[in-house]
């Protein structure tokens, strides 16, 4: 396009060239070269980093130093530099000896909109971002400083200097204290990933080129670019970003945390209510009373009255500040100390109180049928109240928007109405051994069930106080 707009004869001359030999660009070499026949004469051309190209040229040390200083000054402004050299020779193969230095070009690659904000969001999420590039160290530092990745040039290391470090422990110590890695080869990228993984970090690598493939494959999570990425990079990665935006990675982390939180909420609801049922039945055996619930009633609790709220919990929105939490340790399981504590407290409360209610009614002269009916209704109320305990492990219930999840309240009401209906439908009364109860009993059982809500809110307050003091 530039040639057409300036002088067509250059384009015509380009069509008259015949390529004879070529050395394709390889990151480990840092240059590309070709020999070309122009007007029946052979010319050799080379392009690449100034350090490599100057090594092919016949220049004095003074000129070499002056050129490198000029390259460094442009790199310090954030420009990428490419140096050029040529030579006229009768050799058919590429001849890189005693070439003539032609100069270098400085190319600016502006930051994409939103990248800086996305990286800051990653920092807030407790994610450390480092830069690994083949660019000049000064260029890499300028860009890293603008992005907020590095604040001092001491945080930058050159791949050539890194390769000179033979002591493995010393290399690890230096690497773990750097934020920007420049002039890095594909093998070094993989080595860096290995060092960070050995230090206990969970590593995600982003890349789009063939030279990124080893690091993408070796990382815990490889993330390649869908638009600009090569086929090799995409095949070596675990995740492909279709819009090539770093913000999409941060958004993916946020959605992943929300999904993980919702899984925990569902598991907490199901395990704690299941534990309560086990406790309820176990105490019936221990105290040698009739079974507090029949098998069909337990099945009813698990599949019907507790079978729809968990679906609604899966649709919970993210809690405020989900991206400001520190990442959880990779080895941490679903059942961490918080989950176990909450399951034990809520399970014991529901199981013991439900058995206590059954034992009270039975010992007060009520029939086994009536006592089971009250115990079953109390368990249904427990389950529906407990759904709201499950919405957050840390936030108080009044800090959560009640109707933010449009499905939760309708699902809870549906589950309760299904049970109420079964208490009035003759066929269901026969199958489940249930019957309608009076308003006074409803009020008492509802107050007892609300006690679970108060207990779990108290647990959150205590846990927050311990965390703050600890």
pLDDT value of position 136: 87
CATH number reported for the structural domain that contains residue 96 in this entry = 3.40.1110.10
Instruction: Kindly report, residue by residue over 56-100, the tens digit of the pLDDT.
Output: 998 899 999 999 999 999 988 888 899 999 998 887 788 888 999
Of 395 and 39, more confident: 395
Do residues 438 and 320 share a domain?
Answer: yes
Domain boundary at 227, 248, 269, which? 248
Do residues 314 and 441 share a domain?
Answer: yes
Closest to 94 in 3D by CA, of 102, 86, 83, 105:
86
Task: Provide the mean pLDDT of the chain.
Answer: 90
Token representation of residue 308: 């729809």
Do residues 289 and 423 share a domain?
Answer: yes
Do residues 274 and 297 share a domain?
Answer: yes
pLDDT value of position 380: 95
Do residues 377 and 272 share a domain?
Answer: yes
Of 356 and 334, more confident: 356
Whether residue 3 has pLDDT greater than 60: no
Whether residue 1 has pLDDT greater than 60: no
Do residues 30 and 58 share a domain?
Answer: yes
pLDDT value of position 423: 95
Do residues 300 and 449 share a domain?
Answer: yes
Domain count, the chain: 3
Do residues 42 and 119 share a domain?
Answer: no
CB atoms under 10 Å from CB of 73, counted, come to 12
Separation of alpha carbons 112 and 109, rounded Å: 9
Whether residue 6 has pLDDT greater than 80: no
Do residues 322 and 428 share a domain?
Answer: yes
Domain boundary at 87, 108, 129, which? 108
Domain boundary at 248, 277, 303, which? 248
Which pairs from 236-243 meet CB under 8 Å and 24+ separation? 236/212, 237/207, 241/206
C-alpha separations of 383 from 52, 111, 431 in Å: 71, 52, 21
Instruction: Kindly report, residue by residue over 300-327, the tens digit of the pLDDT.
Output: 998 887 888 888 999 999 888 888 888 8
Separation of alpha carbons 208 and 233, rounded Å: 6
Whether residue 329 has pLDDT greater than 80: yes
- Residue 19 belongs to what H/E stretch? strand 18-26
Separation of CA 288 from chain center: 52
Of 341 and 308, more confident: 341
Do residues 88 and 122 share a domain?
Answer: no
Do residues 338 and 291 share a domain?
Answer: yes
CATH number reported for the structural domain that contains residue 366 in this entry = 1.20.1110.10
Token representation of residue 163: 């390769």
Strand-pair partners of 32:
47
Domain extent at residue 173? 115-248
Do residues 334 and 446 share a domain?
Answer: yes
Instruction: Kindly report, residue by residue over 389-441, the tens digit of the pLDDT.
Output: 999 998 888 888 888 889 999 999 999 999 999 999 999 999 999 999 999 99
Separation of alpha carbons 142 and 136, rounded Å: 10
Instruction: Kindly report, residue by residue over 183-221, the tens digit of the pLDDT.
Output: 888 889 999 999 999 998 999 999 888 888 899 999 999
């Amino acid at each position: 396009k530039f040639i057409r707009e300036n002088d067509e004869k250059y384009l015509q001359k380009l069509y008259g060239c015949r390529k004879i030999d070529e050395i394709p660009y390889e990151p480990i070499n840092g240059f590309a070269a070709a020999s070309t026949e122009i007007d029946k004469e052979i010319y050799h051309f080379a392009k690449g980093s100034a350090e490599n190209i100057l090594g092919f040229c016949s220049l004095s040390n003074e000129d070499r130093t002056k050129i490198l200083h000029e390259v460094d000054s442009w790199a310090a402004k954030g420009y990428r530099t490419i140096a050029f050299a040529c030579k006229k020779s009768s050799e058919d193969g590429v001849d890189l000896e005693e070439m003539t230095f032609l100069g270098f070009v400085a190319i600016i690659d502006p930051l994409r909109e939103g990248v800086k904000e996305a990286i800051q969001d990653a920092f807030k999420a407790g994610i450390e971002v480092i830069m690994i590039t083949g660019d000049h160290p000064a260029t890499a530092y300028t860009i890293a400083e603008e992005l907020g990745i590095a604040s001092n040039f001491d945080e930058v290391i050159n791949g050539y200097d890194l390769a000179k470090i033979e002591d493995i422990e010393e290399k690890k110590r230096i690497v773990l204290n750097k934020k920007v890695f420049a002039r890095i080869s594909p093998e070094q990228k993989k080595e860096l990933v290995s060092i960070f993984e050995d230090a206990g970090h969970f590593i995600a690598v982003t890349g789009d080129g063939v030279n990124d493939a080893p690091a993408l494959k070796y990382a815990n999570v490889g993330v390649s670019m869908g638009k600009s990425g090569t086929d090799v990079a995409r095949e070596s990665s675990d995740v492909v970003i279709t819009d090539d935006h770093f913000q999409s990675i941060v958004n993916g982390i946020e959605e992943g945390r929300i999904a993980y939180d919702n899984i925990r909420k569902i598991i907490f609801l199901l395990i704690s209510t299941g534990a309560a049922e086990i406790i309820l039945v176990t105490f019936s055996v221990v105290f040698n009373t009739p079974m507090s619930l029949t098998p069909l009633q337990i099945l009813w609790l698990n599949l019907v009255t507790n079978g729809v709220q968990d679906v609604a919990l899966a649709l919970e929105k993210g809690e405020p500040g989900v991206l400001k939490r520190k990442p959880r340790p990779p080895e941490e399981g679903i059942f961490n100390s918080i989950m176990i504590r909450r399951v034990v407290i809520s399970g014991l409360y529901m199981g013991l109180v439900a058995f206590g209610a059954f034992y009270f009614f039975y010992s007060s002269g009520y029939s086994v049928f009536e006592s089971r009916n009250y115990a079953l209704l109390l368990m249904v109320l427990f389950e529906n109240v407990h759904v709201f305990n499950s919405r957050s492990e840390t936030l108080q219930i009044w800090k959560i928007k009640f109707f933010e999840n449009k499905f939760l309240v309708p699902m809870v009401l549906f589950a309760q109405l299904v049970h109420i209906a079964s208490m009035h439908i003759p066929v269901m009364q026969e199958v489940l051994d249930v019957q309608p109860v009076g308003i006074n009993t409803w009020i008492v059982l509802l107050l007892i069930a609300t006690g679970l809500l108060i207990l779990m809110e108290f647990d959150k307050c205590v846990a927050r106080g311990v965390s703050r003091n600890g």
